């Protein structure tokens, strides 16, 4: 069945190409889908970096620095952090902030959007791996000081998220850190729930916080803390774990 769908997609693209169209995989992201080419051009016209432009557009000025400062406060990012991997690097706002503040020897990225992935590899000191949206298969086991995801696991379906959790557990080395944000019950009080319902965004996927903590504990990590950040209509919760 999967091969049939792939063949249908290829055939459809050949036909649509005559009219300038193409079938592509839809990937929902925080703040709505944004084109790499259009975003980079718009940032340049506004004499802004892509990070500044995107933070302004999404009304999250300074959010990347605030989040990375929290990484540092919990010890997940320090002078001893040398090898980092980011899932869903997107516009590179968190990568840029980390690379500016730390002496990273290798920064790996798994970004499913090919245009952004290419731009990231050209713009920053980043190894941009091919991404299939569920694994970190180009990264060696027990090799990373820090694995992080920002505004990604808030919209991935449950089983895809679990696949990522298993991959995070595999690639993080002993004494390494795993940091990511989720949308849990605490992110949807009555007012925030109403705000989401009144918005056009229907992507949020809830993950119970205690389930996630228990999962990582069973996979050799210890829970070291949490913090909230402004996200979209409301807020998301970052969880931080250290591999034992």
Asked, for residue 12, whether it belongs to a domain, the answer is no
Asked, for residue 217, whether it belongs to a domain, the answer is yes
pLDDT band at 114 (very low <50, low <70, confident <90, very high): very high
Q: Is the pLDDT of residue 240 over 70?
A: yes
**In terms of pTM, does the model score above 0.75?**
yes
Q: What percent of the chain shows pLDDT beyond 90?
A: 85
Beta strand 144-149 pairing with 172-182: parallel
pLDDT tens across 5-31, in order?
444 444 444 544 444 444 433 333 334
Asked, for residue 9, whether it belongs to a domain, the answer is no
- The Cα 130–Cα 136 span in angstroms is 9
Q: Say how many CA atoms lie within 13 Å of 120 toward its Cβ.
A: 29
Residue 82 tokens, joined: 């040398």
Residue 215: domain span: 61-243
pLDDT the model gives residue 33: 59
pLDDT tens across 42-76, in order?
999 999 999 999 999 998 999 999 999 999 999 99
231: β partners: 234
* Residues ≥6 apart with Cβ < 8 Å to 84: 98, 104, 106, 107, 108, 144, 145, 146, 147, 148
Asked, for residue 20, whether it belongs to a domain, the answer is no
Sheet holding 234-243, edge to edge: 127-129, 106-110, 83-87, 144-149, 172-182, 234-243, 221-231
Asked, for residue 172, whether it belongs to a domain, the answer is yes
Residue 168 tokens, joined: 């995070």
3-state secondary structure of 41: helix
Asked, for residue 42, whether it belongs to a domain, the answer is no
Asked, for residue 168, whether it belongs to a domain, the answer is yes
Give the CATH number, domain containing residue 92: 3.40.50.150
Around Cβ 102, how many Cβ atoms within 10 Å?
20
pLDDT tens across 133-188, in order?
999 999 999 999 999 999 999 999 999 999 999 999 999 999 999 999 999 999 99
Question: How many domains does the chain divide into?
Answer: 1
Asked, for residue 194, whether it belongs to a domain, the answer is yes
């Amino acid at each position: 069945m999967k091969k049939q769908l792939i063949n249908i997609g290829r055939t459809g693209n050949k036909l649509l190409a005559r009219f300038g169209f193409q079938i592509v995989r839809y990937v929902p992201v925080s703040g709505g889908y944004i084109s790499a080419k259009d975003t980079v051009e718009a940032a340049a016209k506004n004499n802004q970096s892509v990070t500044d432009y995107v933070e302004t557009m999404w009304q999250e000025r300074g959010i990347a620095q605030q989040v990375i400062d929290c990484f540092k406060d919990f010890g997940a990012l320090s002078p001893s952090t040398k090898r980092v991997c980011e899932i869903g690097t997107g516009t590179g706002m968190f990568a840029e902030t980390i690379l500016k503040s730390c002496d990273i020897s290798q920064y790996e990225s798994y970004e499913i959007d090919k245009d952004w992935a290419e731009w990231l590899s050209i713009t920053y000191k980043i190894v941009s791996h091919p991404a299939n949206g569920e694994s970190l298969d180009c990264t060696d086991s027990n090799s990373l000081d820090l694995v992080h995801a920002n505004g990604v696991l808030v919209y991935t379906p449950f089983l895809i998220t679990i696949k990522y959790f298993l991959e995070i557990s595999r690639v993080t080395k002993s004494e390494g850190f795993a940091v990511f944000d989720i949308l849990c019950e605490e992110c949807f009080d009555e007012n925030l729930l109403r705000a989401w319902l009144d918005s056009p965004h229907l992507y949020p996927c809830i993950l119970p916080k205690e389930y996630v903590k228990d999962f990582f504990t069973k996979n050799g990590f210890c829970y070291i803390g949490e913090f909230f950040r402004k996200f979209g209509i409301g807020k998301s919760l970052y969880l931080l774990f250290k591999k034992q």
